[in-house]
Amino acid sequence: MWNEEGRERKNEWAICRHVVLPDLGLGDVPISVSVWLVKRGERVAEGEPLVEVMAGPATVDLPSPADGVLVQKLVGEGETIAVGQRLAAIECDD
């Protein structure tokens, strides 16, 4: 469902950005969520580390795509994830 400003509405949140796993250029190495660095309901700044993912022996911090509040985590720690998969939702500052 979308509101008049074109923002997705879920459970009264104005979700303006989803955190999506980018292509890390690691080929077919399985990738999983190692640890969430921000708790649900906490404020984040654009570029701030949000979640740490593990790909083989390497770990990568994924940054927040926008200023706002982390309102939804779509995957849990230890879950295997795929490139392009939505990991979380950010309610952006107006």
* Residue 58 resides in a domain: yes
Question: CA–CA separation, 46 vs 50, rounded Å?
Answer: 10
The pLDDT value recorded for residue 1 is 34
Predicted pLDDT of residue 76:
96
The DSSP output letter for 2 is: B
The answer to the question of residue 52 being in a domain is yes
What does the block give as tokens for 85? 């998969």
Q: Output the pLDDT for position 14.
A: 67
Provide block-wise average pLDDT over 10 residues at a time, the chain (94 residues): 44 75 88 96 96 93 94 96 95 77
Return the pLDDT at 2: 37
- Can you give the residue range of the structural domain that contains 56? 17-92
The pLDDT of residue 28 is: 84
What's the number of domains the chain is made of? 1
Residue 25 pLDDT: 87
Kindly report the number of other CB atoms within 10 A of residue 3's CB atom.
Answer: 9
Residue 1: inside a domain: no
Q: Please give the Cα distance from 3 to 16 (Å, whole number).
A: 11
Contacts (Cβ under 8 Å, ≥6 apart) of 64: 19, 38, 44, 45, 46, 47, 48, 49, 50, 70, 90
Which is nearest to 86 in space by CA: 57, 60, 50?
A: 50
Q: Is residue 12 one of the residues assigned to a domain?
A: no
Assign residue 48 the CATH number of its domain: 2.40.50.100
